[in-house]
Amino acid sequence: MNSNLQFMVQPGGCLTGHMRVPGDKSISHRSIMLGALAEGVTEVAGFLEGEDSLNTLRCFRRMGVKIEDPETLGAGRVRIHGVGLHGLKKPDSTLWLGNSGTSMRLMSGIIAGQDFDAVMEGDESLSGRPMRRVTEPLALMGAQIDTQDGGRPPLRVHGGSALKGINYVMPMASAQVKSCVLLAGLYAMGETCVTEPAPTRDHTERMLQGFGYDVRRVAGEGGVSTVCLTGGGVLKATNIDVPADISSAAFFLVAASIAPGSDLVLQHVGVNPTRTGVIEILRLMGANIEILNERTVGGEPVADLRVRSAKLKGIAISEALVPLAIDEFPVLFIAAACAQGETVLTGAEELRVKESDRIQVMADGLHALGVDAQPTPDGMIIRGGTMHGGSVTTHGDHRIGMSFAVAALRATGEIRIEDCENVNTSFPGFVELAQRAGLRIRAEQVAA
């Protein structure tokens, strides 16, 4: 008999104390990829032991890289025995990436530069996500990649192509596309440049530099910038300390903001300026968030975040902030539902092609809880008000499940959240950590 993991969350509560959320997923993915392609042994601390990043780890093992994992070394610790840029081996079968679009898009760039064929596939959600945004620039570089109808996975990457550097102007801001092209550029003849229309997360560029690779950045006007590198260099092993994931911290930033009496400190959070849109948006809504103990760890800015409850107000969210908070909008919608007045989001059509259609799924869930939420093609209009209890479904999307768990802090009745298995893809131990912080949440398996 199939079973379904549900969250049952009682209304009310407040959040207090100190906590550290799991490691940053984006950086965890990249630490495996670049560590595998480096010469020497890379030590990683703070690695996220979620299914997405573990699938990346398993794929590189399948391509001949020796990787010692947390089961052997202890929580959050990984040791990668790099094979160099040209040391990967043909996998004996398909590379399984589960729910991870980041893995598939970034690995497309790496595998395009190999001399062997490889097939990448994922679960039903990943199989419906658009991949032309990476296969098209890779084709311009000389790669040969077969997709399914509509440019969807599985992807078959044909090896042995001689890649050439390109100047690629991205039609839309996407850190995954930028990273894919730069990673392919490691194998390309000449210089590869990517121009982005708005700032996106820059973990790939920072980490490439941390591995000793020369990366050139040119800032333009109006947020436009270009990143360049020349193929044929060498990555040198290094040590990486993965900060806590601001996307995971976001659930607790909103939770402590909306729950009266809350005073919570989130420790060692990555505050890369390309990722802090959630803090900026919440502060514009009136949130009380302090950035404390700022420091740099392994090239990434890190800080402690103190958040106390505050009366939030609705705002029109600037489209310039959208790329800086794209993964945090599900829980920001909960903040909007608890705010006084109207919150308007535009320019976020990317939310419709995430693990779920996050605009429609969040609107449906908010409706089920009595919130006035109107989806639009590229965003949402939410009028804050009272939330009652009810039942919502995540459609297999981890961020939807955690967002509605946070909503219970201000609901008048119990919220039941169905289909929460995928929470472990990004936030293992979410329920236990949320309970310790003050959320009245429990998980239970029910017959499907």
What's the predicted TM-score (pTM) here? 0.90
Q: Comparing 446 with 182, which gets the higher pLDDT? A: 182
Is the pLDDT at 432 greater than 80, yes or no? yes
Q: Are residues 410 and 360 in the same domain?
A: yes
| DSSP assignment of 31-58 | HHHHHHHSEEEEEEES---SHHHHHHHH
Shared domain for 266 and 214, answered yes or no, is no
* Whether 222 and 113 share a structural domain: yes
Domain co-membership, 72 together with 174: yes
**What band does 448 get if pLDDT is binned at 50, 70 and 90?**
low
How many independent structural domains does the chain possess? Answer: 2
Q: What pLDDT shows up at residue 1?
A: 38
pLDDT tens digits for range 342-358: 999 999 999 998 989 99
Do residue 188 and residue 326 come from a single domain? no
Look up residue 373 and give its two tokens. 């939420």
Residue entry with tokens 């990317």? 350
CB proximity list for 12: less than 8 A, separation 6 or greater: 408, 409, 440
Please indicate whether residue 115 is annotated as part of the active site.
Answer: no
pLDDT digits (tens, 9 = 90+) for 43-65: 999 999 999 999 999 999 999 99
How do residues 255-298 score in pLDDT, each as one tens digit?
Answer: 999 999 999 999 999 999 999 999 999 999 999 999 999 999 88
- Dist. CA 276–CA 323, nearest whole Å: 10
Do 220 and 259 share a domain, yes or no? no
Tell whether 167 and 261 lie within a shared domain.
no
**DSSP-derived pairing of the beta strands 342-345 and 379-383:** antiparallel
Asked if residue 144 and residue 12 are part of one domain, the reply reads no
Cα separation, 90 vs 93, whole angstroms: 9
Catalytic residue among 241, 245, 327, 419: 327
- Structure confidence by residue, pLDDT tens digits, 297-332: 888 999 999 999 999 999 999 999 999 999 999 999
Give the end of a domain, one of 215, 241, 267. 241
Task: Report the percent of the chain where pLDDT is more than 90.
Answer: 92
Query: What is the residue range of 422's domain?
Result: 3-23+243-447
Average pLDDT over residues 394-417: 97
Q: Are residues 89 and 163 in the same domain?
A: yes
CATH number for position 305:
3.65.10.10
Mean pLDDT of the chain: 95
The answer to whether residues 122 and 104 touch, using CB atoms and an 8 Å cutoff, is yes
User: At which of 219, 241, 263 does a domain end?
Assistant: 241
Nearest residue to 375 (alpha-carbon basis) of 401, 399, 402, 356? 356
Q: Are residues 326 and 442 in the same domain?
A: yes
